[in-house]
Amino acid sequence: MSVQSALDAVRTGETEAAFVPIENSVEGGITTTLDELVAGTPLMIYREVLLSITFALLVKPGTKLSEIKTVSAHPAAQPQVRNWLKTNLPDAVWESAASNADAARLVREGRYDAAFAGEFAAARYGLEALETEIHDAENAQTRFVLVGRPARPAAPTGADKTSVVLWQRDDHPGGLRDLLGEFATRGINLMVLQSRPTGAGIGNYCFCIDAAGHISERRMAEALMGLKRICRDVRFLGSYPRADVTAAQVRAPLPGTSEGEFMAAAEWVARCQDGRF
């Protein structure tokens, strides 16, 4: 199933949630997933997982490597096997598919000679793995997110991530700096910053951001409120546990940016308003 089909099934209520790839350590963001989260009916990320990725070359039984003229997989797979292809199948033509599983199905139907997919897919589609453990980069990983319809975010764990999409009111010098400043002044570390075209013309972009922290934390809530004030629009994609660290591994906040310090500052302002300073 393609990313779009999986998310369409979530939007229509056919399924409650779906895991979709959103980032690869070799190629970066999976643009299909990002664009689906940016546009259309709002969806929310519930959690994330990191998976080590290797590919198998799936073919019809009896196919030899020398007989392969066309290969297929999801476009995100191509950068992860490019060098292997140059060495082993330099003349093979790449044909993109909606997903790696769909590529395997197309091989079964005779459309293409081989597919890059998980080895487990061979049995499902009546194929065999001609080559296994294919990857150009050691320790390559893909980040998958569980996406569903909007709901209350899970409780904070102490090692969380918040994802948002930002649209500027207008294009002006320092515009991106203004957006990022809402995070920086509160000691919030940005983990991902990607621009995506809005479709409104050349030079029109929105920004997809992953930031360390949870919306229930005072500093993150204040940053999001600041962004809501200065942006044309903000889409909240969720606050969810990070897959790469535990709470014990999260870096200590910068001086003046801990939850306790934000709360103490808010209480001080309240006392001043009451004349109790």
Least confident range from 37-41, 222-226, 237-241: namely 37-41
Mean pLDDT across the stretch 232-254?
A: 92
Q: Chain-wide mean pLDDT for the chain?
A: 93
What's residue 203's pLDDT?
Answer: 82
Cα separations in angstroms, 141 against 72, 136, 202: 20, 12, 32
Nearest to 37 by CA among 268, 219, 194: 194
- Strands 93-96 and 70-73 come out as parallel
- Strands 70-73 and 114-117 come out as parallel
Instruction: Name the DSSP class of 153.
Output: P
pLDDT higher for 122 or 25?
122
Give the Cβ contact number of residue 199 at 10 Å.
10
What's residue 27's pLDDT?
Answer: 82
Give the confidence band of 154 by pLDDT, cuts at 50, 70, 90: very high
- CA triplet 228, 230, 234: central angle to 5 degrees? 35
Give the confidence band of 238 by pLDDT, cuts at 50, 70, 90: very high
Q: Does the structure show a pLDDT above 80 at 270?
A: yes
> What share of the chain in percent tops pLDDT 70?
100
What's residue 246's pLDDT?
Answer: 87
Backbone angles phi, psi at 70, to 5 degrees: -130, 140
Q: Quick one: 25 exposed, middle or buried, by C-beta within 10 A (0-12, 13-18, 19+)?
A: middle
In DSSP terms, 93 is beta-bridged to 70
In DSSP terms, 198 is beta-bridged to none
Pinpoint the alpha helices (H) of 89-196. 100-108, 121-124, 175-184
With beta carbons less than 8 A apart as the criterion, state whether 196 and 34 touch.
Answer: yes
